[in-house]
Amino acid sequence: MTEVLAPRRREVLVSISLVTSVACVVLGVWEFIVWKFDLPKALLPTPGQCWDAAVSERVALFRATISTGFAAFSGLLVAVAVGYGLAVIFSQSRSLRLALFPYVILLQTVPIVAIAPLLIVWSGYTFRTVLIVTAIVCLFPIVNSVTGGLLSTKQDTNDLFRLYGAGRWKRLLHLQIPSSVNHLMLGTKTSSGLAVIGAIVAEFFVGNSTSYDGLGTLMTGWANLLKTDALVSAVFASAMLGVLLFGTVHLISAVFLQRWTKFATTAG
């Protein structure tokens, strides 16, 4: 077991070293550019100035990151629930799939910045609007992936279930849904990378009209005040939040799939 884990640990350490090295190079080049061209702080602050701004605004940044993270995670959960339900419907009815799936694609192709103002008119400057926008952004990868998983069962297996008298719903519960678990995890991981983007875009529109303050709200306010150092720190906070959400979903997926595989093997 130790011999198996050792190469993986080495690979992780090498990966961390490479990522850290690239980050140091980028920060060094960034610092050099500001120094070489004598750029004003309002145009491009140094990494040190951005760090100082992050420290001085740490309370606002922390609260905004929590708000945006909660909105992103909640929107992702809504997208998983709605997306899986739609995928089940599409897998059971070819007519509905042909009729409605193009609209799911259309929802994905329409820029979210065009939809957000409409949602504000209908739902107001509230957290609910941020939640809906995030769910819309996350919806398509889940619907597309799970639908493919539900329809990916082999014809021989389907025929075997029919041979033993299994109806549509029994095949769905005991064949198609188990076959779609891996696809659900894949779609959710893809959508987790979009969730933070959707939440922040929605926060740009919701703005300071309510007591809700997310990272998008802070970015808008600091951009208007030309507080570029604080703005850059908010951008980094949003990037870290996206990585954290993706990593969390990836970890949950790995643990769930491992237990699901053990359960399926035992049941089989």
Which stretch of 38-42, 171-175, 220-224, 233-237 has the lowest confidence by average pLDDT? 171-175
- 107, 119 in Cβ contact below 8 A? no
d(CA 69, CA 97): 33
Give pLDDT, residue 31. Answer: 94
State what percent of residues in the chain have pLDDT above 70.
89
Give pLDDT, residue 266. Answer: 56
Would the pLDDT of 181 be above 60? yes
User: What is the model's pTM?
Assistant: 0.88
- What token pair was written down for 188? 């959710």
Which stretch of 2-11, 40-49, 143-152 has the lowest confidence by average pLDDT? 2-11
Which stretch of 173-177, 194-198, 210-214 has the lowest confidence by average pLDDT? 210-214
Would the pLDDT of 49 be above 90? yes
DSSP per-residue string spanning 216-239: HHHHHHHHHTT-HHHHHHHHHHHH
**CATH domain 41-267 topology:** MetI-like fold (1.10.3720)
- 143, 87 in Cβ contact below 8 A? yes
Would the pLDDT of 59 be above 60? yes
Q: What angle do CA 157, 163, 164 make, to 5 degrees?
A: 100
Would the pLDDT of 4 be above 50? no
Please give the DSSP secondary-structure letter assigned to residue 165. Answer: T
- 6, 190 in Cβ contact below 8 A? no
- Render pLDDT for 228-263 as a digit per residue (tens, 0 to 9): 999 999 999 999 999 999 999 989 888 877 776 665
- Render pLDDT for 68-102 as a digit per residue (tens, 0 to 9): 999 999 999 999 999 999 999 999 999 999 999 99
The conformational region for residue 212 under phi > 0 = left, psi -120 to 50 = alpha, else beta, is: beta
d(CA 84, CA 139): 9
d(CA 155, CA 54): 57
Cα 58 from chain centroid? 24
Termini Cα distance of the chain: 26
- Render pLDDT for 189-205 as a digit per residue (tens, 0 to 9): 999 989 999 999 999 98
Packed helices 47-56 and 2-36: angle between N→C axes, nearest 10 degrees = 100
Share the mean pLDDT of the chain: 88
